[in-house]
Chain A
Amino acid sequence: MAIRVLPREVVDRIAAGEVIERPASVVKELVENALDAGADRIELELEEGGRALIRVVDNGGGIPAEELRLAFTSHATSKIRDAEELFHVASLGFRGEALASIAAVSRARLRSRVPGGEAAAEVQAQAGECGEPAPAAGPEGTLVEVRDLFFNTPVRRRFLKTVRSEVGQVAEWLTRLALSRPDVAFRLQNDGREVLRLPADGGLAARIRRLFGPEIANRMLPVDGASGPMQLAGFVLPPGVDRPDARWVYLFVNGRFVRDRTWLAGVREAYRGLLLRGRTPVAFLELAVDPAEVDVNVHPTKEEVRFREPSRLFALTLRGVSAALGRVDLRPEIHDARTAAAEPGAPGPRHRARRGSDRPLRPDGGSTPSSGRCAEETTEERCVREGPELPFGGSSAAGPARQFLRTYLMRELPGGLEVTDQHALHERILFERIRSRLAHAPLPVQLLLVPEVIAVGPRGQALLEGARGRLESLGLRFEPYGPDRIAVGGVPELLRKVDPGRLVADLLGFLEREEGCGALEAISDELVATLACRGAIKAGDVLTDGDIAALLEQGEAVARSPFCPHGRPVTVHVAVGEIERWFRRGV
């Protein structure tokens, strides 16, 4: 087949395919246009989830009648003028493609009236062919109607999902845009029914409350920080309000929703050891940065951006989010009855602010819940007495601990009962100790009299070889032994009692999961967690009273986090109020 230049309409459809995938992409482009036009009220109407109709009405700056036709032309935009400006983009869009792409795959109508203009004008376009502008009646601002999306690209139309799913996608995009601009009022309707109504709010916190409800909003921890040209602000949620995916990590650069691996990694890093493996926190973070520091012209939908200094962003995020988490007492607590009454339907463990001044932000200005008063007060008293850095606080006032089911340690604390998982606690203690030790020097190695030969397979051998530096600093000595085995000549002294074969298998399992990604620090931490887990007492181990006391005491001295390195809680508190409720006392 001879090489030919493609006809324009084909080119247009291909280009449209990159930007316009489904109704949600139309909505995103049109709402971004409306925001760029300075609108502070945007209304969206869908029919059949956007298949039949998408209508976006704004009260922004409008388009003069003589430019209406141009708006549908590819690479026509008012947002930048030359290539130089491409590197200082302050608006959401700049490619001049959105309307042209939409018009290429639908029947579109554009009506606009500039403020103070005498009348509106409108123009229609269909499958990329644009008609002549005609006078029309309409308010100031712009209306865009997109009908019969993909009517001329039936394959793509077939790929559309159910109405509900498409509406969900639209709502998700609208959520992102609404989070980036809390000062703008939004409204979304589908088939005449209101899906979302967001009045212009005072700020991000209020907008989050409206979008995600009080359960999220009441527990948000404010994040802020700056580094060089970067300003970070926003909110994160404590562990316990986490998710299996990263969907609720909302990241915005200069008001633009983005997905960025480095940034997300920074957030995750701050939660290291606080979440179960595979869980992702909930976060709303905004970065204000000189537009010259970030390249938004990486991807047609602009979801991906490129930072000039990604490591600065990583460090800033890690520091800011860690600081926010560090200000709260992360000890999980079983619901106090009165808390439950105050906030019906509150799920999961509650997390308590340690000091009054550092309570999670309450955007509505309300006081912190009057729930759990007794436990709250004693926590504060304890902190005053023993300093704020004792996450397992209160041994001086604690009763003797008893072992329960050979797994849990229970003791009385002022204000309640403390239940500790012995393995998780010991694991956490060892983890912190090994980590602090590693910061100074490599771990001591117990050399073996007879090297232990372990079959690991050729791939395992290569993986171990690749991680040799880290493994050696952790105290493992090994040499390749034939093509698929290794000879272990030394083990971490700490783990002298652990079977080298099991240790290597554990380490390999980790290396396999993390192959090709993950920061060096993360690998090291994970290896330390593996060491800690292997070395820790197990559930089912019988402990003497002396062991128990020593363990709890060590926990208080060393443990920073109330979670084991794999993210399971170490200690749970049952408030007196909860116990009283069981027995119908004092409620």
Chain B
Amino acid sequence: MEFTSNRRKLQEALQLVGGVAMLRTVKDALQSVYIDARPEGLILKATDCEVGIEVRIPDVTVARTGVVLLPAAHVMGIFRELSEPEVIVRSDGSGSEILSGRSRFRVVELDAGLFPGLPEFPGVLAGRVATADLVGMIRHVVFSSAEERTRYAFDGIKLEVCREELRMVSTDGKRLSYYRMPHIQQEEGMREALLPARALGHFGKALVGEGVEADLAVEGNRFGIRSQNVVLYCQQIEGSFPNFLPLVEKELPHHVMLDAEELLRALRRASVFAVAEARVVRLRLGAGNLNVRSNPVEQGEAETDVAVEYDGEPVELAFNPDYLTDYLKLVGANRVRVDFKDEQTASRWSVATTPSDEARKGELLYLVMPVTR
């Protein structure tokens, strides 16, 4: 096997594929990248048994076809150090040479027969969606999922494909992201999947700038996304996702309108004293004003006032500032509407839609539970 490729393209593909290989520490053969050089281009594959990825690089000069299985960590390490525009990869059956500029690396190959292969792409098409929308959707929900794997169902992201809407929801028990997007579906009925958040986060990266449209497919406990040059697989998570709709649709009597960037700045200032053992900021709402201050600690305190649209009773809500900044960073320069009831109940955050951005595709509803004493 021998091919010549654009160094940067190959490196990007290796990072995506290698990232999957390194998701978990299992067998050597799984922490490896499978490279198949064909006349029409390269196919890179990796899997950790639960998650699989396949990336195609079409414009590659293949001098000699063949397959190799290379240890992911070494190959990624090598490419991180390369800066030349082109790279040549040449295999002699026992080892692979990677040549770039005046550097030469030799990597011992693994037995390609050990590569477990990827599952067949699920046969049931659940929907077709613009890749850019899908990437945005993933980005809007993945941050709310549990970081740790202890609460198993919360480690997952729920995907619902309906006839007119595509929905994704994730929660770590303290906050919840609910993203929905108009979607035209040919078939009847709703399909849903519970997907591992880490895999989906990785998929989001793999799909950036990739093709125009992507197919979503579900079959049994397998889930797949296929776009022009990337195919992604994962197993669904077992478990039941909490019943979130009553939470999202709950009637909340009060609301405030505010500027996301201003609040973000105020929160960052207050967070200076939101020490690790009590990450708490207090939002005190009065007529037309929101006072954002840190929970006073031994080290000091900080407060900032933000002008808001509010004419209700004074109220104080306390939050972990990270939960709010995570959201506000996503929202960017926008007016935000916060619906709330009291200091014990989840507040609902959403971008206040103005007639001008009717065309915007998706909508994120974000629920945050407060902190109390």
CB proximity of A141 to chain B, nearest CB, Å: 67
Contact with B along A145-169 (1 / 0, CB 8 A): 0000000000000000000000000
Question: In the assembly, what is the distance between CA of A262 and CA of B188, in Å?
Answer: 74
Are A444 and B171 neighbours in the complex by a CB distance under 8 Å?
no
Residues of A within 8 A of B298 (CB): 436
Q: Considering only CB atoms, which chain A residue lies closest to B276 in the complex?
A: A494
Are B344 and A499 neighbours in the complex by a CB distance under 8 Å?
no
Residue A339 is within 8 A (CB to CB) of chain B in the complex: no
Residue B173 is within 8 A (CB to CB) of chain A in the complex: yes
CB proximity of B345 to chain A, nearest CB, Å: 8
Residue B225 is within 8 A (CB to CB) of chain A in the complex: no
Residue A452 is within 8 A (CB to CB) of chain B in the complex: yes
Residues of A within 8 A of B313 (CB): none
Are B372 and A447 neighbours in the complex by a CB distance under 8 Å?
yes
Known: A449-B174, A496-B320. A444 touches B280 (CB 8 A): yes
Complex partner residue of A448 from B148, B174, B280, CB under 8 angstroms: B174
Residue B5 is within 8 A (CB to CB) of chain A in the complex: no
Are B277 and A447 neighbours in the complex by a CB distance under 8 Å?
no
Residues of A within 8 A of B369 (CB): 446-449
CB proximity of B293 to chain A, nearest CB, Å: 14
Residues of B within 8 A of A452 (CB): 151, 173
Are A445 and B173 neighbours in the complex by a CB distance under 8 Å?
no
Residue A277 is within 8 A (CB to CB) of chain B in the complex: no
Residue B27 is within 8 A (CB to CB) of chain A in the complex: no
Are B280 and A493 neighbours in the complex by a CB distance under 8 Å?
yes
Are B277 and A449 neighbours in the complex by a CB distance under 8 Å?
no
Are B278 and A443 neighbours in the complex by a CB distance under 8 Å?
yes
Are A497 and B148 neighbours in the complex by a CB distance under 8 Å?
yes
Q: Which has the most chain A C-beta neighbours within 10 Å: B244, B278, B280, B295?
A: B278
- Interface size class on chain B is 20 to 34
Complex partner residue of A444 from B150, B176, B344, B373, CB under 8 angstroms: B373
Complex partner residue of A499 from B151, B175, B247, CB under 8 angstroms: B151
Q: Which has the most chain A C-beta neighbours within 10 Å: B150, B244, B371?
A: B371
Residues of A within 8 A of B318 (CB): 444
Residue B101 is within 8 A (CB to CB) of chain A in the complex: no
State the main secondary structure of chain B at its contact with A: loop
Residues of B within 8 A of A434 (CB): 277
State the main secondary structure of chain A at its contact with B: mixed
Complex partner residue of B346 from A444, A449, A493, A496, CB under 8 angstroms: A449
Residues of B within 8 A of A490 (CB): 372
Question: In the assembly, what is the distance between CA of A556 and CA of B147, in Å?
Answer: 30
Residue B288 is within 8 A (CB to CB) of chain A in the complex: no
CB proximity of A323 to chain B, nearest CB, Å: 25
Are B320 and A437 neighbours in the complex by a CB distance under 8 Å?
no
Complex partner residue of A449 from B148, B171, B280, B344, CB under 8 angstroms: B171
Contact with A along B220-258 (1 / 0, CB 8 A): 000000000000000000000010100100000000000
Q: Considering only CB atoms, which chain A residue lies closest to B275 in the complex?
A: A433
Known: A446-B371, A449-B346. A430 touches B277 (CB 8 A): yes
CB proximity of A504 to chain B, nearest CB, Å: 13
Contact with A along B147-176 (1 / 0, CB 8 A): 110110000000000000000000101111
Contact with B along A395-437 (1 / 0, CB 8 A): 0000000000000000000000000000000000010011011
Residues of A within 8 A of B151 (CB): 452, 499-501
Residue A214 is within 8 A (CB to CB) of chain B in the complex: no
CB proximity of B281 to chain A, nearest CB, Å: 11
Residues of A within 8 A of B320 (CB): 446, 493, 496
Q: Considering only CB atoms, which chain A residue lies closest to B171 in the complex?
A: A449
Known: A441-B373, A444-B371. A433 touches B173 (CB 8 A): no
Residue B367 is within 8 A (CB to CB) of chain A in the complex: yes
Residue B370 is within 8 A (CB to CB) of chain A in the complex: yes
Residue A385 is within 8 A (CB to CB) of chain B in the complex: no
Are A449 and B175 neighbours in the complex by a CB distance under 8 Å?
yes
CB proximity of B140 to chain A, nearest CB, Å: 17
Are B150 and A449 neighbours in the complex by a CB distance under 8 Å?
no
Residue B139 is within 8 A (CB to CB) of chain A in the complex: no
Name A475-505 residues within 8 Å CB distance of B. Answer: 490, 493-494, 496-502
Name A446-462 residues within 8 Å CB distance of B. Answer: 446-450, 452
Residues of A within 8 A of B176 (CB): 449
Residue A199 is within 8 A (CB to CB) of chain B in the complex: no
Are B173 and A493 neighbours in the complex by a CB distance under 8 Å?
no
Residue A442 is within 8 A (CB to CB) of chain B in the complex: yes
Are B174 and A446 neighbours in the complex by a CB distance under 8 Å?
yes
Q: Considering only CB atoms, which chain B residue lies closest to A436 in the complex?
A: B298
Residues of B within 8 A of A433 (CB): 277
Contact with A along B103-126 (1 / 0, CB 8 A): 000000000000000000000000
Are B277 and A437 neighbours in the complex by a CB distance under 8 Å?
yes
Residues of A within 8 A of B280 (CB): 444, 493
Residues of A within 8 A of B373 (CB): 441-442, 444-445
Complex partner residue of B279 from A441, A447, A493, A500, CB under 8 angstroms: A493
Q: Which has the most chain B C-beta neighbours within 10 Å: A436, A442, A444, A500?
A: A444
Complex partner residue of B370 from A436, A443, A447, CB under 8 angstroms: A447
CB proximity of A541 to chain B, nearest CB, Å: 13
Contact with B along A204-228 (1 / 0, CB 8 A): 0000000000000000000000000
Can you list 25 A-B contacts (CB < 8 A)? A433-B277, A441-B373, A442-B373, A444-B295, A444-B371, A444-B373, A445-B371, A447-B370, A447-B372, A448-B174, A449-B173, A449-B176, A449-B242, A449-B367, A449-B369, A450-B171, A450-B244, A452-B173, A493-B320, A498-B150, A499-B151, A500-B151, A501-B151, A502-B150, A535-B277
**Given A447-B370, A449-B171, A498-B150, 18 more contacts at CB 8 Å?**
A430-B277, A433-B277, A444-B280, A444-B318, A444-B372, A446-B320, A446-B371, A447-B372, A448-B174, A449-B174, A449-B176, A449-B367, A450-B173, A450-B247, A452-B173, A494-B278, A499-B150, A502-B150
The 4 A-B residue pairs with the shortest CB-CB distance in the complex, in nearest-first order: A499-B150, A450-B242, A447-B369, A444-B371
Residues of B whose CB lies within 8 Å of any CB of A are 147-148, 150-151, 171, 173-176, 242, 244, 247, 277-280, 295, 298, 318, 320, 344, 346, 367, 369-373
Residues of A whose CB lies within 8 Å of any CB of B are 430, 433-434, 436-437, 441-450, 452, 490, 493-494, 496-502, 535
